[in-house]
Amino acid sequence: MRVSVPTIPHVLTTASNAPISQAVAVERIAQFLSPGNVALLTGAGVSVDSGIRAYRGKDGRYMNPNYQLRSYLGYPPVRDALPNTTHCAFAALQYTSYVSRLITQNVDGLHKKAIAHVWDDNLISKRILELHGSLHVCFHGHVVDRDTFQDWISTYNPYWKDYVVGLEATGQKPRTNPDGDVELEGVSYDDFVVPKCPQCALEGRHNTNQKPAVIFFGESIPVAVRNRSFHDVEQSDRLFIVGTTLATFSAFRLVQRAVKLGKPVLLLNVGPTRGDGLPGVEKIEIPAANVMWDVVRTILGTRFAADPVIVDLSKKGIYNPPSDS
């Protein structure tokens, strides 16, 4: 499957849902999730409160060394980002089995971070699917930890290492997008060196370019990932969608699949989406951070205060949206 990003129809970008109060939104979402066995599909909007801006477009591909430099500069803020209150609320719903499967379009790993102290890696891999990959590993035939790859880039590019150190020392942060890319102006890329994979070189491979384990626009999603995403939707009783415009077909087709199977679908997103007006899709427009912990509290009742894991999760989570988001 190839990742395509169609334009959201103009009629949808100008339409707006009727205003809804926070109390009514909480009640409706809780009612939707209470039966359990919910598949949750998330997008970049969920991570905005962790300081990661929503995706800006389809610029930057790993084949261009310019992307490798921008990603080198942009990866540390994504690596260091912490789960926000919405991530932690979803983790509570996963822990209590109301959300049985989570599919995320995000590559920041924050859903995994939010529940890592509750679930082991094996359970996390079974219950969380990163539809478009992850920034935290690089590979070209061989898996390389992303932090190791960052060290390789620093070794090959001392000037850019000093540049990063200078940014950190002055507290400056380039504008970072969800894919770990940054926006730079007036910068020359001519002297940037992309490291080669040592193992590939030892094996005599001619193509030693490396890339993050991320699906870029125009690339194909692995068949196994596509099949797993369909399976997760099919095995769930309903689909809850949060923080996404559903612009990528890899995500939108999951909504189509759920609708075709007659499953209830609820979309929580501020602003237009590709799912707006789709028969069988109900939409609520209100920020997830404003309602999700109240939703958890409503669903769990007395267990909310009695379960130490839930209490701990309710105290975690940052709220640090970008100043220009």
Map 207-238 to HEC letters: CCCCEEEECCCCCECCHHHHHHHHHHHHHCCE
85-to-47, 90, 97, 314, 315 alpha-carbon distances in Å: 10, 9, 18, 8, 9
For the chain, helix (H) and strand (E) counts, in that order, are 14, 9
Angle at 226 between CA 222 and CA 229, to 5 degrees: 140
**Catalytic residue of the set 87, 111, 132, 136:** 132
Q: Is 34 helix (H, G, I), strand (E, B) or coil?
A: coil
Measure CA 57 to chain center.
15
d(CA 19, CA 8): 21
**Is 10 part of the annotated catalytic residue set?**
no
Q: Are 290 and 270 in contact (CB under 8 A)?
A: no
Straight-line distance from the first to the last Cα atom of the chain, in angstroms, rounded to the nearest whole number: 31
Provide the annotated active-site residues.
132
